[in-house]
């Protein structure tokens, strides 16, 4: 039986790059579908954007469960709606920030996050605290390109990510790089190759969305989902869900 993972994009703009990258993960036994929200912000670059994105994101996640999907991945490094969604459905709901930060903590002693804008730094600091990995965060760096302009100049984007990642390794002591925006999907290999060329050693670069989709499949295969002790079942649209 194949595993069906739904990627819910909590913004109203659809990035074809993401779809392409994700389809490369599909296997005979792994079905990937994607959906974006209808009502919410065009991009997420603040706590406020997240707050606006959450209600429709939750609706999409409940819909996924009703359609028989086995796990949901929220397509944003702010993990918007993660905790509320886990109260609403029985299937696993995964956020790329939570999965990436814990995975980075397993791959090396310290890691850095490289994201789009400096203004997102405090959001990552708060998530690290929430997820219990503060001690492992060496730095949060940014490339100073807004989300909606990421596709404007691919070569500048890649170069900026390479440069900031190298600074994180050399100046901040990062042993692992976590890409801090799911819009960076597909660029990890180039950055990793650059770091290897510059430092002579292999430094993992986490591409959060593919890693989280594959981790979701692993959780489904292992028969685990978020605990209802921590996320008590909740009414949604008048229907008790337990």
With vertex at residue 124, the alpha carbon angle to CA 194 and CA 233, rounded to the nearest 5 degrees, is 125
Rg value, the chain, Cα:
17
Helix (H, G, I), strand (E, B) or coil at 132: coil
Q: How far is the C-alpha of 86 from the C-alpha of 231, rounded, in Å?
A: 6
Give the count of residues interacting with a copy of itself (CB under 8 A). 83
229 belongs to the binding site for a copy of itself (CB under 8 A): yes
Examine residue 65 and tell whether it contacts a copy of itself (CB under 8 A).
no
Please state the closest distance from residue 23 (CB atom) to a copy of itself, in A: 13
The verdict on 237 binding a copy of itself (CB under 8 A) reads: no
Q: By CB under 8 A, name the one of 166, 176, 185, 191 that touches a copy of itself.
A: 176
Q: What's the min distance (Å) between Cβ of 151 and a copy of itself?
A: 22
Using the rule CB under 8 A, is 110 a contact of a copy of itself? yes
Report the residue from 5, 58, 116, 161 that binds a copy of itself according to the rule CB under 8 A.
58
Alpha-carbon dihedral sign for residues 215, 95, 205, 169: negative
**Nearer to a copy of itself among residue 64 and residue 188 (C-beta):** 188
Q: How far is CA 74 from the centre of its chain?
A: 7
Regarding 206 and contact with a copy of itself (CB under 8 A), the answer is yes
**Residues between 127 and 166 with contacts to a copy of itself, criterion CB under 8 A:** 129-136
188 near a copy of itself, judged by CB under 8 A: yes
Query: In the complex with a copy of itself, which residue's Cβ is closer, 150 or 177?
Result: 177
Choose among 136, 15, 9: nearest CA to 77.
9
Q: Which residue from 12, 17, 31, 102 is in contact with a copy of itself, where contact means CB under 8 A?
A: 102
Element (H, E) at 160: helix 154-172
Nearest to 31 by CA among 76, 84, 70: 70
Q: Which is nearer to a copy of itself, 150 or 213 (CB)?
A: 213
Contact (Cβ atoms closer than 8 angstroms) between residue 88 and residue 236: yes
φ, ψ for residue 197, nearest 5 deg = -65, -40
**Min CB(137)–a copy of itself separation in Å:** 11
**Binding positions for a copy of itself, 77-96, rule CB under 8 A:** 81, 83-84, 86-88, 90, 94
Tell me the window of 8-16, 64-72, 107-115, 151-159 that interacts with a copy of itself (CB under 8 A).
Answer: 107-115
Contact 172, 145 (CB under 8 A): no
């Amino acid at each position: 039986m194949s595993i069906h993972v739904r990627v819910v994009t909590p913004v109203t703009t659809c990035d074809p790059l993401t779809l392409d990258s994700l389809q490369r993960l599909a296997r005979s036994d792994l079905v990937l579908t994607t959906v974006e929200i209808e009502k919410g912000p065009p991009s997420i670059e603040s706590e406020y954007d997240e707050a606006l994105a959450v209600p429709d994101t939750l609706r999409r996640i409940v819909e996924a469960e009703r359609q028989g999907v086995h796990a949901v991945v929220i397509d944003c490094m702010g993990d918007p709606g993660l905790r509320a969604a886990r109260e609403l459905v029985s299937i696993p709901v995964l956020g790329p920030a939570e999965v990436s930060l814990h995975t980075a903590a397993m791959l090396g002693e310290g890691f850095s996050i490289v994201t789009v804008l400096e203004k997102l730094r405090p959001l990552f600091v708060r998530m690290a605290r929430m997820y219990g990995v503060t001690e492992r965060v060496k730095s949060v760096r940014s490339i100073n390109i807004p989300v909606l302009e990421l596709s404007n100049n691919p070569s500048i984007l890649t170069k900026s990510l390479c440069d900031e990642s190298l600074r994180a390794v050399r100046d901040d002591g990062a042993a692992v790089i976590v890409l801090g925006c799911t819009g960076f999907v597909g660029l990890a290999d180039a950055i990793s190759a650059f770091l290897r060329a510059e430092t002579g050693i292999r430094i993992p670069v986490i591409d959060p969305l593919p890693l989280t989709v594959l981790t979701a499949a692993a959780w489904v295969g292992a028969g685990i989902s978020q605990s209802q002790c921590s996320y008590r079942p909740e009414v949604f649209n008048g229907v008790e869900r337990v």
